[in-house]
Amino acid sequence: MTTDSNDYLRTVKILDTFIDRALGLKPADKFLSGFNYNQDLLKASIGNTYVETIGSRADSLHLAIKNTSISSIYWEYIQTVKLLGPEVGLPEKDVILAFDYTDEDFYGNPQGFLISRWGRRDTETKKFKFLTCSIVSSDIPQNIPLVSIPIWMGQNITHAIVWCLTVTEPMVKSISLIMLNKGFYSKELILTFSGSMHPYLIFVPNNSKIRSELNQMEEATMETRHSKLKLDINQTTLKNESTLRMLKQIFGRNTDKLYDWMFVTNQTEIDFGHIIASYKRKWKLEDGFKLQDETRIKSKSTDANIRFFYFCYEHMLHFIWIILFKDKVNFKTFMINLYEECLKRSNSV
């Protein structure tokens, strides 16, 4: 399959629209807009460098980003996903969703609650932290990022996950499974999902108690534990029963490997082959973030809006490539051709 200039021109205009609507700019106005900023953003992205070093519009771009809201940025990203999703038939698909964190280093004095502290206090580093919800279904050839939001210190992660599910649900036919790794394991999330209509699977941290129970199990077996959960939160008491499933040396037919898994779920019947294949795809979420890192727009800004806008712009490039170009050109070629289309457009004005 080949692409022509019209494919890239269409993509440039999609990016123009994302920038204009996310930042509240007017296209073809006497002031700068996405038409002008796109070229610098693409050049910085290809060079994995700073916008300040490759153009003269960084100050006005940063001012525009600071004057918008974080919600305007992620809502416009969501609108673009809704626009392009039908290109790969997302509204007709039953999908498996996975949640994951990614982070970006922060340099300088911490300001505000959007800076997370990681590590021991004596070696603590500071990072911007983002939560991403992606499609990882084994029958879809590429992980597809649907929504990303920033996470601040003290934020209720359960509420953030539920919100992401609320906005992604209309994009697909149905959600056949929600998968979360050990970092999301919490009593509140389990109790919240227990009252949900969606099947879920949360992996359990491998502590000494779990390891002891696994050691007592025979190979190629599964055991189920039921326990009652209770949580007092916000003057409300949540109660329900959780189901822990422990699998010892279960063979994954799609991977030819044996697995020891422990997870909490509301599923009574489990297709292990399908789940293992899908979870293997979830591991590849990190590959998607690495691909995005190749086109990372660098910034030393301490402003959360600026860092999140750059992150969403990079996410947008990755998403558009997956939807429209993956079967035609590799990601790096896509980026170079896109930038050249921007140059051609600017020179013709």
Dihedral of the CA atoms 47, 49, 53, 55 (nearest 10)? 60
Domain that holds residue 318: 5-347
Say which residue the tokens 């696994």 belong to: 214
Domain count, the chain: 1
Q: What angle do CA 197, 201, 204 make, to 5 degrees?
A: 140
Written as tens digits, the pLDDT of the chain (349 aa) is 556 778 999 999 999 999 999 999 987 667 888 988 999 999 999 988 999 898 889 999 999 999 999 999 999 999 999 999 999 889 999 998 999 888 777 665 555 544 444 444 444 457 788 999 998 876 676 778 899 999 887 788 999 999 999 999 999 999 988 988 888 888 888 888 877 778 888 887 777 776 676 666 666 556 666 666 555 566 565 566 666 666 665 555 555 666 677 778 777 666 666 666 666 656 555 555 566 667 888 887 878 899 899 999 998 998 999 899 988 999 899 999 999 999 988 877 6
Q: Which residues have a Cβ under 8 Å from the Cβ of 343 and sit 6 or more positions away?
A: 39
pTM (two decimals): 0.83
Q: Cα(1)–Cα(325) distance, rounded to whole angstroms?
A: 9
Identity (one letter) of the amino acid at 333? Answer: T
Going from the C-alpha of 239 to that of each of 21, 191, 266, the distances in angstroms are: 43, 7, 15
For residue 249, give both structure tokens: 């040396």
Cα gap 30→32, rounded to integer Å = 7
φ/ψ of 29, rounded to 5, equals -90, 170
**Beta pairing, strands 94-105 & 174-180:** parallel
Q: How far is CA 177 from each of CA 174, 230, 269, rounded to the nearest angstrom?
A: 9, 24, 12
Q: What is the CATH number of the domain that holds 109?
A: 3.90.350
d(CA 329, CA 83) in angstroms, rounded, equals 22
HSE-up of residue 6 (Cα within 13 Å, Cβ side): 1
Which residue, 335, 339, 304, 306, is CA-closest to 318? 335
